[in-house]
Amino acid sequence: MNLPFDPIERAAQTWRVHFGPSSAMAAVTSIMRAHQILLSQLDTLLKPHDLTFARYEALVLLTFSRTGALPLSRIGERLMVHPTSVTNTVSRLERAGLVRRLPNPRDGRGVLAEITDRGREVVRLATADLMDADFAMSAYGERELGEMFDLFRTLRVAAGDFGVDSGHGDSGHGDADASR
């Protein structure tokens, strides 16, 4: 775009004139735009691996699991997405040979998604690319990233994503819990 002005700042100025305080509107609009930018950049980094960020997250979650397999319902719960999205994601990963579906031995009606050796290799390569690119966050230092995590954690707690004492750890940010 390369506009000669910040359209969100301009909208906030106009908002103040018409509706009043604009801080919350400007923050939400900035977050939504940042989401669009990051998702586009991450998907671009993952495209050579024939992945989207959503599919990458599912593969990483399976990689982090003890056995390399999880029930689809658990995947949805951990990734905080609708069951239909999980089914779609696992179907695409299965077609690509990165996961396979298995009957869940603990639930006769349930299905497990299990990462394949090829899926593990794709995760390894894709993760190296994402790490090399600092997950598209290279404009920020460690302190800023930690502050950002803490700010958004407050929003996630308020939304009920998890309990206040759930896995906060010592620093409040940093490496994610392996069970995600």
Q: What kind of fold does domain 7-136 have according to CATH? A: Arc Repressor Mutant, subunit A (1.10.10)
pLDDT digits (tens, 9 = 90+) for 65-92: 999 999 999 999 999 999 999 999 999 9
pTM: 0.83
CB 83 within 8 A of CB 72: yes
pLDDT digits (tens, 9 = 90+) for 21-65: 999 999 999 999 999 999 999 999 999 999 999 999 999 999 999
- Pairwise CA distance, residues 177 & 167, whole Å: 7
Q: What contacts 30, CB < 8 A, 6 or more positions away?
A: 8
pLDDT higher than 50, residue 94: yes
Which own/partner pairs from 127-134 qualify as long-range (CB within 8 Å, at least 24 positions apart)? 127/60, 129/45, 129/46, 129/48, 129/49, 130/42, 130/45, 130/46, 130/56, 133/41, 133/45
Average pLDDT rounded to a whole number, residues 134-162? 95
pLDDT higher than 80, residue 129: yes
- Pairwise CA distance, residues 15 & 36, whole Å: 22
pLDDT at 167: 54
SS3 content of the chain, % helix, strand, coil (to 5): 60, 5, 35
